[in-house]
């Protein structure tokens, strides 16, 4: 199991790094200038054109590399937007008074009912289709999911004894956040953000495919697939290459997330003190997504409910995480007990920031 | 998109309007007169009323098929009487007397009367009308109906295009209520059912006054993108595609005996439109330089392959005042550089090209950018939505240069309006175009417009990049379909399926 | 249960209203004045004012919102700016496409995923275990529209056994062509959905397999299959139902993109067209209906979970 997991991480990172490397290279060297149309309309591979040319005569491989820039910009940009917004909101909600927190939880549940892609579409409808809009829109959609995860995680951490101990020892709330909360929730967030990066790439591709993402002539992979559709029978490479690149990057992000989760998996961390601290964040059987029936966890997909979003994790780490479309947690103010034996304090310490 | 559409309606500009679509069906019916023709198109009507923003799709589906005018513009571009049996024009050219064809019935069963014609023309000129011909028909002063079969129209001034413009006016039952989802015309078909987003069916009208349709009915299938449309044709879900949007898929029909690719005459021009009022494009030399620096032929080839036609002015070959002006400001980078130097910009300049975000504009803009870079001109491509185009470019004139498709025939006259979005202003051209409209004979009109058009082309008021091809692809079993689709019409009544 | 039902229903209603608020605010925050769409070129101020009245944007935002919400509850979703036709019937006309596609795709995904996922867990040691995992991993990374394009190329264009897209004008009154028309879209959505479901089912099964009660049951002499059936299925089904509710909603939304590939006249293509044309009433209407459907599915999922496992109720009300 563990070996397979680290294999996941290795494969995932390799895929991401290869593609990232290609993107970095594209800033220093491209086979052809981006706007060079000298290749002739829809030429087959050869003559320096590794994958042939598109209908304008531009080198397809060059376009593919440029599309990689867009894919990474989307993945990382949306994660940055979603991460910063989501973690901030989640922290605020987690520390807020019970009443406010309830409200925040309901609001997040509702926001999550708007799938990332649809939310992005609305924003694009108003702001016009562009890469920036797409990144922002996807990031905002993601923020609700990240915020919800952060909130649940924060509440779990705050209910721990060592927080009380720290408070008694005179540590300020910001200090608690920095020294206890963030380090504890960080690994789980990281796993989720890696997944979200893959989903963001998929979402951007879908937007571009629908003509609502990066506008032409920029070579978004989704757009390239749309264009290549018309000539799929005659130039199959143009329809395959961007798709394969897209799949490779998304799998890369997903496997990296899988592997990272394994690294942060408490069951594999020896040393009682750390383990006991971490494990409280998660149900005690990290690889059982379906907690025993008497457990309170209701698994939710790790990923948002966007059409492209499919749960990409198996473990329960994902469980409290990301949003369920359905408000499976009907009493949002309450943190479900993280493992069967533990009864959460009925009123988690509600600090004010 | 809507606003552009209205611009299209009011001024003859077109966007490629993505209609949402669906369609399919077994075209299983038999051949001959019992056959139903399955037509594929990307232009779904917005609604069924051409004075309420129905768009290009409503013209395609209903013009000549469901609705008829006093006159009709045939697929070859001539104007023929249709519901008007006879017309008399007074010597001063201000009074037109039309006698209606007898025995014409609306689909609802009511007989056609002069009151219907009067009401129909007034629908177009009404205050809330969105008709493309509203401004043209504002020349009408009064309409009177001395008897049930006679209509007398008095004009404010001579208008040689009046009868031509009447070919766009649907004659509708004056008592019809809701024309946005139902119809009451006099054409050879009546509306069957319109499934929004998918299909619109027409069935043969048994009480038609003229020669009956040669098929039992027509179903228009609407697709939102060209690939789905071509796939429908390849899988026999449709028999004919009214207008191919890109050459990409044509290869699969070209060498296939089951299909016929028809290369018709088009009136749609792709323009690189300068803002002739602002620097640097207020200088004729600069506009000429840009025109000479772009290899239009190569652009056409890269977008349309072997299809389409280079064009040297706003006038397409089907207009009576066409002449070949492709040699004016033809491709020659050396001359472009000279002109730049003459304009005081030997090292080139930088401008922003507002580019609509739908095909073919972004691709063409990329091409233009690479061409102009060769003569030292830097292009910043600013991609905008159709909506932004309408507000920023068309309304506020806040642009240096832009791209747009202009679909209509006979639309060179907009260069006579200094208030039009491109701001071309040449008093002599304006005078010639106004005189042409008030000309007594078509020869006089043609001569004046030719003269004006030559000046417009020489001064490179815009850069006319190319004339779109008009490609109708049909199953080889089909005959009798229109191939030019002039002004987006698609007469279906002569189509026969064997 | 009744108490939970009341509470859950209240939450559903509050969520719906809040969703409407979010939707309304979001669309009003966006730049662009929808009134422009109604105006002819060179409109006079009077015309602009008249158009505002027609749109109802001449009053304050809260009033606008209450009006819109009130109308929405009476199923009046306003009129399209583009076609000037009412949005409600338009949406209703699209449901006979989107709903069957969603349900069929969902069922197919479940039919594929449950046995395959369970097999991958129960027989994790066999050669096909890792293969199922790898395929599922691949499946969640492939964009649905790409699968659609590939299926069209193979089954419609090359083999010519199924239509490439569209929906017959006669609709469901002639079920044959209608069913043919939705086969490829259904398969596309189902493939994508089953990839993620397989992972859940596999994980749920693994969880159950390792559970104490199964070991106990087996230790007490029950056969493995019987124990799995009597205890495992029920226990595994609770979390799976939660996931299924989410997945059903996701399937519904997955149709949005796939409808565009197959030129299906469903809700998704209506939304995409609305967005391209900046047709706010259409966008608002479709989003409201979709969100309501998503919330409703979540509601039903929660109820179903509690019917199967009443223990959740006790915890929930504690």
Pick the last residue of a domain from B118, B133, B166. B166
Checking if the pLDDT of B117 tops 70, the result is yes
Distance from CA of B26 to the nearest CA of C (A): 7
Q: Which of A110, A289, A291 sits opposite C18 (nearest CB)?
A: A110
Please report where in the chains the tokens 């087996």 appear, as a residue: C218
Q: Mark which residues 219-278 of A lie under 8 Å from C by CB.
A: 222, 225, 229, 232-233, 239, 243, 246-247, 250-251, 254-255
Residues in CB range of A193: below 8 A, 6 or more apart: A79, A82, A83, A146
pLDDT at A132: 85
Q: CB C244: neighbour CB atoms within 10 A?
A: 25
In a domain, B22, yes or no: no
CB burial readout C64-100, b (16+ within 10 A) else e: beeebeeebeeeebbbbbbbbbbbbebbebbeebbeb
- Do B325 and B461 have their domain in common? yes
What does the alpha-carbon distance between residue A208 and residue A215 come to, in Å, rounded to a whole number? 7
**Interface residue A110 vs chain C (CB under 8 A):** yes
More confident residue, A28 or A287: A28
- Pick the closest to residue A152 from A315, A305, A298, A326 (CA basis): A298
Q: Is B114 domain-assigned? A: yes
CATH of the domain at B380: 3.10.105.10
- Residue with the bigger pLDDT between B222 and C119: it is B222
Mean pLDDT of C79-104: 86
Q: Which residues on neighbouring strands pair with residue B37, listed in sequence order?
A: B218
Confidence band (pLDDT; 50, 70, 90) for B15? very low
Q: Which long-range contacts (CB under 8 A, 24 or more apart) does A41-49 make?
A: A41/B301, A41/B302, A41/B305, A42/A231, A42/A234, A42/A235, A42/A238, A42/B248, A44/A235, A45/A237
The answer on B356 and B279 residing in a single domain is yes
Q: B431: Cβ–Cβ under 8 A, 6 or more apart, which residues? A: none
SS3 B382: strand
Q: Does A117 touch chain C (CB under 8 A)?
A: yes
pLDDT at A318 (0 to 100): 31
> What is residue A343's predicted lDDT score, i.e. its pLDDT?
29
Q: Does the structure show a pLDDT above 50 at A272?
A: no
The tokens for A30 are 């491209």
Tell me the nearest-neighbour CA distance from A20 into chain B, angstroms.
26
**Same domain flag for B404 and B293:** yes
pLDDT digits (tens, 9 = 90+) for B256-307: 899 999 988 888 899 999 999 998 999 999 999 999 999 999 889 888 888 8
Task: Given the cut 0.95, state whether the ipTM is greater than it.
Answer: no
Helix or strand run (H / E) with residue B262? strand B259-264
pLDDT score at B412? 92
pLDDT for B39 beyond 50 = yes
Predicted local confidence at residue C29, as pLDDT: 67
From B166, B196, B221, the end of a domain falls on B166
CATH number, span C97-317: 1.10.3720.10
Which residue ranges make up each domain of chain C?
2-73, 97-317
pLDDT at C33: 61
Same domain, B356 and B417: yes
pLDDT at C250 > cutoff 80: no
Quick: pLDDT tens for B479-496: 999 988 777 889 999 999
Looking at every residue in chain B, the average pLDDT score rounds to 87
Same domain, B404 and B422: yes
**Domain boundaries, position B474:** 32-66+187-266+470-497
d(CA B61, CA B190): 11
Q: What is the mean pLDDT of residues A294-306?
A: 33
What is the pTM for the complete model shown? 0.78
> Minimal Cα–Cα distance from C57 to chain B, Å?
18
Residue B440 located in a structural domain:
yes
Separation CA A145–CA C33 (nearest Å) = 31
Percent of chain A at pLDDT exceeding 70: 71
Domain co-membership, B279 together with B380:
yes
Q: Clarify whether residues B196 and B288 are in a common domain.
A: no
Span B379-436, pLDDT tens digits: 998 888 776 787 788 878 899 999 998 888 888 999 999 988 999 999 999 999 999 9
CATH number where B241 lies: 3.40.190.10
CA B315 to chain CA centroid, Å, is 13
pLDDT, tens digit, for every residue of B222-265? 988 788 888 889 888 899 999 887 777 787 888 889 999 998 88
Same domain? For B426 and B486 the reply is: no
Q: Which residues, 6 or more positions from B404, have their beta carbon under 8 angstroms from its beta carbon?
A: B13, B270, B271, B273, B356, B361, B389, B393
Same domain assignment for residues B284 and B370: yes
Q: What CATH number has the domain bearing residue B100? A: 3.90.76.10
Q: What is the largest CA-CA distance in chain C?
A: 87
The band of B108, judged by pLDDT with boundaries at 50, 70 and 90, is very high
> A324 and C242 in contact by Cβ < 8 A?
yes
- Say whether pLDDT at C227 is over 70: no
Residue C114: CB atoms within 10 A of its CB come to 20
Neighboring chains of B (3 or more beta-carbon pairs < 8 A): A, C
| Residue B78 and residue B109 share a domain | yes
| pLDDT band, very low/low/confident/very high, at A72 (cuts 50, 70, 90) | very high
Shared-domain flag, residues B192 and B283? no
- DSSP H/E element including B194: strand B189-195
Residue B415 DSSP symbol: G
CB-closest option in B249, B251, B302 to A37: B302
Nearest one of A66, A57, A84, A88 to A22, comparing CA atoms: A66
Q: Which of B26, B45, B40, B51 is nearest to B197 (CA)?
A: B45
Closest CA to B224 of B476, B487, B1, B482: B1
Q: Which residues of C touch B394 (CB under 8 A)?
A: 41
CB of B291 closer than 8 Å to CB of B329: yes
In this structure, the answer to whether residues B138 and B41 fall within a common structural domain is: no
- Domain-located, residue B12: no
Q: What is the pLDDT of residue A323?
A: 31
Q: How many domains does chain B have?
A: 3
């Amino acid at each position: 199991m563990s070996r397979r997991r680290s294999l996941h991480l290795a494969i995932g990172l390799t895929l991401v790094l290869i593609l990232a490397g290609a993107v970095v290279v594209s800033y220093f060297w491209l086979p052809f200038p981006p706007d060079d149309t000298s290749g002739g309309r829809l030429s087959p591979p050869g003559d320096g054109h590794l994958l042939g040319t598109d209908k304008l005569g531009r080198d397809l491989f060059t376009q593919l590399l440029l599309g990689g820039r867009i894919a990474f910009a989307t993945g990382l940009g949306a994660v940055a937007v979603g991460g910063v917004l989501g973690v901030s909101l989640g922290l605020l909600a987690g520390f807020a008074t019970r009443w406010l927190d309830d409200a925040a939880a309901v609001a997040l549940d509702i926001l999550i009912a708007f799938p990332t892609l649809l939310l992005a579409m609305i924003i694009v409808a108003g702001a016009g289709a562009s890469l920036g809009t797409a990144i922002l829109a996807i990031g905002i959609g993601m923020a609700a999911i990240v915020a919800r995860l952060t909130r649940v995680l924060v509440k779990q951490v705050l209910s721990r004894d060592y927080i009380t101990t720290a408070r008694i020892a005179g540590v300020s709330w910001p200090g608690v956040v920095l020294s206890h909360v963030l380090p504890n929730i960080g690994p789980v967030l990281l796993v989720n953000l890696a997944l979200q990066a893959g989903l963001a790439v998929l979402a951007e591709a879908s937007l571009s495919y629908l003509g609502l993402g990066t506008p032409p002539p920029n070579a978004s992979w989704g757009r390239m697939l749309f264009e290549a559709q018309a000539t799929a029978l005659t130039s199959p490479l143009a329809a395959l290459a961007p798709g394969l690149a897209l799949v490779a990057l998304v799998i890369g992000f997903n496997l990296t997330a899988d592997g990272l989760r394994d690294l942060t998996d408490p069951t594999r961390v020896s040393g009682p003190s750390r383990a006991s601290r971490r494990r409280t964040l998660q149900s005690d059987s990290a690889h059982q997504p379906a907690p025993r029936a008497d457990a309170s966890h209701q698994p939710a997909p790790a990923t948002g409910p966007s059409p492209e979003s499919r749960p990409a994790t198996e473990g329960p780490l994902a469980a409290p995480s990301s949003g369920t479309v359905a408000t499976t947690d009907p009493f949002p103010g309450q943190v479900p007990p993280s493992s069967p034996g533990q009864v959460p304090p009925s009123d988690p310490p509600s600090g004010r920031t | 998109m809507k606003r552009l559409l209205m611009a299209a309606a009011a001024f003859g500009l077109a966007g490629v309007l993505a209609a949402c679509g669906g369609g399919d069906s077994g075209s299983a019916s038999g051949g001959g007169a019992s056959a139903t023709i399955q037509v594929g198109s990307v232009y779904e009507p917005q609604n069924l009323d051409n004075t309420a923003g129905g768009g290009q799709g409503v013209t395609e589906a209903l013009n000549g098929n469901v609705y008829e005018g006093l006159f009709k513009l045939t697929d070859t571009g001539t104007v023929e009487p249709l519901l008007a049996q006879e017309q008399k024009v007074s010597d001063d050219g201000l009074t037109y007397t039309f006698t209606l064809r007898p025995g014409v019935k609306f689909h609802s069963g009511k007989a056609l009367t002069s009151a219907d014609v009067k009401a129909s023309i007034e629908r177009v000129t009404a205050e809330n009308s969105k008709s493309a011909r509203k401004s043209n028909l504002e020349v009408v002063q009064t309409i009177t109906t001395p008897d049930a079969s006679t209509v007398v129209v008095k004009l404010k001034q001579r208008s040689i295009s009046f009868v031509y413009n009447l070919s766009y006016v649907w004659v509708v039952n004056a008592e019809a209520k809701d024309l946005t989802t139902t119809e009451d015309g006099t054409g050879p078909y009546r509306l069957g059912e319109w499934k929004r987003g998918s299909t619109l069916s027409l069935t043969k009208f048994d009480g038609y006054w003229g020669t009956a349709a040669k098929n039992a009915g027509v179903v228009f299938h609407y697709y939102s993108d060209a690939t789905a449309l071509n796939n429908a044709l390849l899988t026999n879900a449709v028999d004919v595609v009214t207008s191919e949007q890109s050459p990409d898929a044509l290869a699969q029909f070209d060498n296939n005996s089951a299909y016929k690719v028809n290369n018709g005459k088009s009136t749609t021009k792709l323009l690189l439109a300068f803002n002739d009022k602002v620097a640097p494009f207020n200088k004729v030399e600069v506009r000429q330089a840009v025109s000479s620096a772009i290899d239009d032929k190569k652009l056409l080839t890269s977008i349309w392959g072997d299809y389409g036609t280079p064009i040297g002015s706003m006038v397409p070959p089907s207009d009576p005042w066409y002449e070949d002006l492709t040699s004016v400001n033809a491709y020659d980078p050396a001359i472009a550089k000279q002109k730049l130097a003459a304009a005081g910009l030997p090292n080139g300049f930088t401008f922003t090209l507002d580019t609509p975000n739908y095909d073919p504009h972004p691709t063409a803009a990329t091409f233009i950018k690479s061409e102009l870079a060769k003569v030292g001109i830097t292009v910043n491509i600013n991609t905008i939505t159709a909506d932004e185009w309408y507000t920023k470019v068309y309304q506020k004139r806040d642009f240096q240069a832009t791209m747009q498709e202009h679909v209509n025939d006979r639309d060179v006259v907009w260069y006579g309006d200094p208030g039009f979005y491109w701001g071309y202003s040449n008093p002599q051209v304006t005078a010639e175009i106004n005189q042409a409209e008030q000309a007594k004979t078509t020869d006089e009109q043609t001569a004046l417009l030719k003269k004006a058009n030559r000046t417009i082309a020489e001064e490179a008021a815009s850069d006319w990049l190319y004339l779109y091809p008009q490609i109708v692809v049909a199953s080889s079993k089909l005959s009798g379909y229109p191939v030019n689709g002039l002004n987006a019409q698609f007469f279906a009544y002569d189509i026969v399926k064997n | 249960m009744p108490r939970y039902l009341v509470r859950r229903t209240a939450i559903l209603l509050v969520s719906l209203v809040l969703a409407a608020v979010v939707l309304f605010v979001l669309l009003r925050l966006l730049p662009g004045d929808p009134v422009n769409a109604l105006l002819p070129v060179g409109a006079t101020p009077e015309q602009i004012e008249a158009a505002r009245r027609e749109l109802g944007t001449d009053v304050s935002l809260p009033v606008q919102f209450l009006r819109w919400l009130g109308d929405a509850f009476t199923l009046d979703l306003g009129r399209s700016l583009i076609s000037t036709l009412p949005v409600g019937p338009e949406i209703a006309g699209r449901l006979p496409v989107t709903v069957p596609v969603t349900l069929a795709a969902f069922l197919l995904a479940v039919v594929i995923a449950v046995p395959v996922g369970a097999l991958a867990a129960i027989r994790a040691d066999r050669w096909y275990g890792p293969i199922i995992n790898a395929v599922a991993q691949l499946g969640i990374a492939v964009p649905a529209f790409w699968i659609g394009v590939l299926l069209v190329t193979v089954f419609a264009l090359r083999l010519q056994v199924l239509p490439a897209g569209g929906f017959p004008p006669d609709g469901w009154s002639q079920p044959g062509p209608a069913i043919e028309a939705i086969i490829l879209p259904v398969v596309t959505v189902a493939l994508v959905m089953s990839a993620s479901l397989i992972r859940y089912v596999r994980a749920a099964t693994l969880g159950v397999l390792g559970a104490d009660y199964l070991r106990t049951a087996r230790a007490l002499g029950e056969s493995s299959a019987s124990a799995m059936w009597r205890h495992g299925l029920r226990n595994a089904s609770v979390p799976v139902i939660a996931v299924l509710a989410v997945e059903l909603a996701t399937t519904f939304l997955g149709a949005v993109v796939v409808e565009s590939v197959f030129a299906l006249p469903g809700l998704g293509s209506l939304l995409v067209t609305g967005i391209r044309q900046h047709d706010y009433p259409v966008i608002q209407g479709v989003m409201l209906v979709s969100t309501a459907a998503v919330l409703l599915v979540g509601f039903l999922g929660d109820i179903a979970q509690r019917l199967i496992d009443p223990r959740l109720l006790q915890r929930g009300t504690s």
